[in-house]
């Protein structure tokens, strides 16, 4: 019996060891095949991912890509306009029928850099103004003429017709305002005065105002009257700017004298200064004949557009009243016509 037990032990134990070795071998084999399968799957996935990833830019510069599908799939847009960075929405860029809308819907090729910025090869100085116009429909324009023309150029490039029209309207208004400004030339020489009066097609009103020619003291009211003459000249210049040429002469011989010209010749003159004799010395007196100045200004309007010569000329004074009233004539003479002329001018 003992012998049988020993034989069984010698036979069973080696067989059991062999079975354990086979199981271990099968386990190692299956594990190996499983690892190989996983490595193959990872290798195939890595190749696909490497094909879909963009190539990193080289150290020498950024890589730009061009695409024709536009920005329709995006909600927000990053714009690099000549180095000026802007962040806006596709809805804003698409508000008007313009080049920017074509970029959004794919009608125009879009150039982007490696960071996703849409690159526009334009100056970005006024692009913020362009975006504000698209957002609000209106925008304040620059005061500078040069900057306004630059905005117009950008609006024409981006084909934003609303902004183009806004710029044209503003330019036109500024030009009209500039042309309508009241300019009063200052005479510097006798030759310049003759040339100016001879070449001017409009009536001319000249005020001589040279206080340097005074040799005597002024009377008590002379300073006030002198200022009133200058003030009236300025008012008439503003009122009849465009119809009458008003010029100042500070180099003439008279202290205060009005001259009226039509068709290149002198029509009338109103001298406002005279010499009066006081008890011991002479004095310079300056008057303010406002009614006569209004009268002569009204008279020269008949020479506007060449209407003062020939049978077509119409005299505005009443019959019997001279149009060349001198300094020595009293203001009472011709009073009815003076009143009518003054009322017409002030109206």
In the chain, domain spans: 65-179, 186-346
Q: For tokens 């324009």, what's the residue?
A: 141
Q: What is the CATH number of domain 186-346?
A: 3.40.30.10
Question: What is the per-residue pLDDT for 42?
Answer: 56
* pLDDT > 70 fraction of the chain, expressed in percent and rounded: 65
Which residues, including other chains, have CB under 8 Å from residue 167's CB and lie 6 or more apart? 141, 148, 151, 152, 155
The set of residues, in sequence order, having a beta carbon less than 8 Å from that of 12 and lying 6+ positions away, is none
Helix (H) or strand (E) holding 167: helix 161-179
Query: Most distant CA pair in the chain: distance in Å?
Result: 181
What local confidence, expressed as pLDDT, does residue 248 receive? 92
| pLDDT above 50 for 61 | no
High-pLDDT (> 90) share of the chain, %: 35
> Left if phi > 0, otherwise alpha if psi is -120 to 50, otherwise beta: which for 334?
left
Per residue in 273-313, pLDDT (tens digit) is 998 887 678 888 999 999 999 999 999 999 887 655 543 34
Higher pLDDT, 177 or 230: 230
Enter the tokens of residue 36: 């190989």
∠ CA(79), CA(85), CA(98), 5° rounding? Answer: 40
Higher pLDDT, 287 or 211: 287
Angle 21-22-25 from CA coordinates, rounded to 5°: 85
Please state the length of the chain.
Answer: 347
Higher pLDDT, 305 or 252: 252
- The answer to whether the 65-179 and 186-346 domains have the same CATH topology is no
Of 248, 345, 265, nearest in space to 257 by CA: 248
pTM of the model: 0.42
Mean pLDDT on 169-179 = 78
The pLDDT value given to residue 130: 95
Type and span of the H or E element at 295: helix 290-299
What local confidence, expressed as pLDDT, does residue 54 receive? 43
Backbone angles phi, psi at 117, to 5 degrees: -80, 130
**pLDDT tier, 109 (very low <50, low <70, confident <90, very high otherwise):** confident
Q: Of the candidates 104, 101, 111, 53, which has an alpha carbon nearest to the alpha carbon of residue 80?
A: 111
**Has domain 65-179 been given CATH number 1.10.10.10?**
no
């Amino acid at each position: 019996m003992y012998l049988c037990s020993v034989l069984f032990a010698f036979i069973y134990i080696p067989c059991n060891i062999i079975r354990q070795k086979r199981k271990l071998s099968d386990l190692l084999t299956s594990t190996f095949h499983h690892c190989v399968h996983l490595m193959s799957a990872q290798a195939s996935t890595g190749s696909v991912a490497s094909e879909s990833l963009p190539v990193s830019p080289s150290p020498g510069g950024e890589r730009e890509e061009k695409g024709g599908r536009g920005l329709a799939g995006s909600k927000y847009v990053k714009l690099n306009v000549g180095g000026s960075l802007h962040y806006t929405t596709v809805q804003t860029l698409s508000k008007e029928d313009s080049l920017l809308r074509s970029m959004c819907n794919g009608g125009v090729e879009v150039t982007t850099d490696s960071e996703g910025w849409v690159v526009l090869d334009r100056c970005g100085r006024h692009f913020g103004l362009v975006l504000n116009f698209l957002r609000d429909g209106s925008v304040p324009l620059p005061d500078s003429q040069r900057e306004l023309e630059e905005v117009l150029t950008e609006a024409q490039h981006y084909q934003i017709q609303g902004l183009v029209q806004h710029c044209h309207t503003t330019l036109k208004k500024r030009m009209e305002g500039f042309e309508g400004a009241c300019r009063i030339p200052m005479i510097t020489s006798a030759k310049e005065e003759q040339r100016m009066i001879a070449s001017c097609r409009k009536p001319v009103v000249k005020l001589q105002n040279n206080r340097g020619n005074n040799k005597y003291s002024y009377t008590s009211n002379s300073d006030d009257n002198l200022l009133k003459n200058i003030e009236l000249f300025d008012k008439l210049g503003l009122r009849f700017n465009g119809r009458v040429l008003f010029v100042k002469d500070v180099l003439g011989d008279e202290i205060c004298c009005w001259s009226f010209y039509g068709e290149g010749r002198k029509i009338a003159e109103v001298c406002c200064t005279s010499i009066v004799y006081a008890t011991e010395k002479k004095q310079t007196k300056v008057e303010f004949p406002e009614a006569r100045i209004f009268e002569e200004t009204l008279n020269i309007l008949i020479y506007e557009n060449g209407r003062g010569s020939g049978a077509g000329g119409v005299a505005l004074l009443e019959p019997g009243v001279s149009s060349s009233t001198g300094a020595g004539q009293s203001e009472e003479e011709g009073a009815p016509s003076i009143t009518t002329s003054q009322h017409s001018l002030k109206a």
